Amino acid sequence: MNILILGGGGREHALAWAVMQNPKCDKLIVAPGNAGIARIAECAALDINDAGAVAEFAQAQAIDFVIIGPEAPLAAGVADRLREAGILVLGPSAAAARLEASKSFTKQICDAAGVPTAAWARFSDAQAAKAHVRARGAPIVVKADGLAAGKGVVVAMDEASALAAIDDMFGGAFGSAGAEVVIEEFMEGEEASLFVLCDGRDILSVGTAQDHKRVGEGDTGPNTGGMGAYSPAPVLSQEVERRAMEEIIRPTIDEMARRGIPYTGVLYAGLMIRDGQPRLVEYNVRFGDPECQVLMMRLGAQAFDLMHAAAERRLAGVRVNWADDHAMTVVLAAKGYPGAYEKGSEIGGLEGLPESSFEMCFHAGTAEGDGRIVAAGGRVLNATARGASLREARERAYAMVDAIHWPEGFCRRDIGWRALQGG
Ligand code: AMP
Ligand code: GLY
């Protein structure tokens, strides 16, 4: 098969790496890709948010199957356009992608389907929103309704910060994403993520993970896209995962189908778990980045068969071949990230790194110039490893980190600390 992956981060490098190992893959193109992806697949310059351009490109290249990595092309209707053109695609329609693009849409689905989640209310003016906050008190959570690149959420531990967040959002800090604001009950517990393939009707868990969103060790400092992740997530025990599938994912997928917007693609459920009870924090309509890297490391070549089965709507009866293993990924980022950072610094030591089904350094923001690999983004590399225990996976991942020579970069040294402390 000829396969096209849309995206150019560590998530897409991991997807490409897994897909390339499957004998069903004859040709792989990644658009736009990055310097690491370019070593294993063809990279193409393409505006991946332009549905017409993507469909035209896929037809010209005789692509049989498209895997969409990030949310922006999904929200822009790229999956719809490909389906209209008769091309198989993994990714929800724009209408179904509202599970990520609109927080109030998701909350309405949850209410209709009886999915356990935080109590909520939606506001289109600051006065009413503030009155609600004053009535409820802190802690409380204030969210811009639309897509705000993961930044439109303020978990306010006191009333003053909640009121300030409301002013910021209605003041245009998040553009049109903040035209409506959702205010939620603050949920306590431990967060973990569940990744599920959906074919419109059937669902299949493809793994659990936990990430580290804060830039600093001990989970301190500003939020990032994720500084590292590990799989499985100990808090998502078999029993908690079963409950999440039955009480959260199943009713959501049924409700979407009932409304005539069947969900096909990857559903990423952010969960809050307390006393064995999972509640939904949010949905994303794609794999997480860097969570995808640890999932692909554990699934290997079968990841392609699972994604293909979901796209072809034949997930019923499909099983994942699980090994009793653990994976960890450590993000190397440019100094300054998530604030301002420099691009263009050279990264050394990559040539000598091991590449196997146990260890891979996935590229995120890299570029190649004059035969040198240089940093081209905030999150730049993902040292990813697998082992019989999380401790073993961590040793392998940090051994790769230590073999990389990049003075302009940094990473957290404590990825997985919570899980490792617990056993
Ligand atoms: P979201 O973009 O909705 O995932 O929110 C970002 C982060 O804010 C989540 O990963 C949680 O850590 C936190 N968060 C969001 N909603 C809530 C909530 N209702 N209660 C507690 N924490 C929340
Ligand atoms: N790592 C979080 C995300 O991909 O949204």
> In the chain, what are the domain boundaries?
2-93, 125-179, 190-311, 326-420
What is the CATH class of 326-420?
A: alpha beta
Residue 274 CA to ligand 1 centre (angstroms): 14
Q: Is the pTM of this model over 0.85?
A: yes
Pick the CATH number of 190-311 from 1.10.1060.10, 3.30.470.20, 3.40.50.11440, 3.20.19.10: 3.30.470.20
Decide if pLDDT at 423 tops 60: no
Lowest-pLDDT range of 113-117, 173-177, 221-225? 173-177
Average pLDDT score over residue span 186-203:
97
Find the ligand nearest to 329 CA: 2
* Within this chain, domains 2-93 and 125-179 share the same CATH topology: no
Q: Which residues of 387-407 are buried (b: 16+ CB within 10 A; e: fewer)?
A: beebebbbebbbebbebbebe
Average pLDDT score over residue span 375-388:
98
Rounded to a whole number of angstroms, the CA Rg of the chain reads 21
Residue 299 in tokens: 């699934």
Topology (CATH) of 125-179: Dna Ligase; domain 1 (3.30.1490)
Q: Does the CA dihedral 72-38-344-373 come out positive or negative?
A: positive
Topology (CATH) of 2-93: Rossmann fold (3.40.50)
Average pLDDT score over residue span 277-288:
97
For residue 292, which atom of ligand 2 is closest to its CA? 4
Question: What are 25-38's pLDDT values in tens digits?
Answer: 999 999 999 999 99
Q: How far, in whole angstroms, is CA 6 from its chain's centroid?
A: 14
User: What residue owns the CA closest to ligand 2's atom 3?
Assistant: 288
* Ranges assigned E (strand) in 200-325: 203-211, 214-216, 220-223, 228-231, 264-274, 277-284
Average pLDDT score over residue span 157-181:
87
Higher pLDDT, 418 or 149: 418
Give residue 174's pLDDT: 75
For residue 150, which atom of ligand 2 is closest to its CA? 5
- The answer to whether the beta carbons of residues 304 and 322 sit under 8 Å apart is no
Q: How confident is the model at residue 150 (pLDDT cuts 50, 70, 90)?
A: low
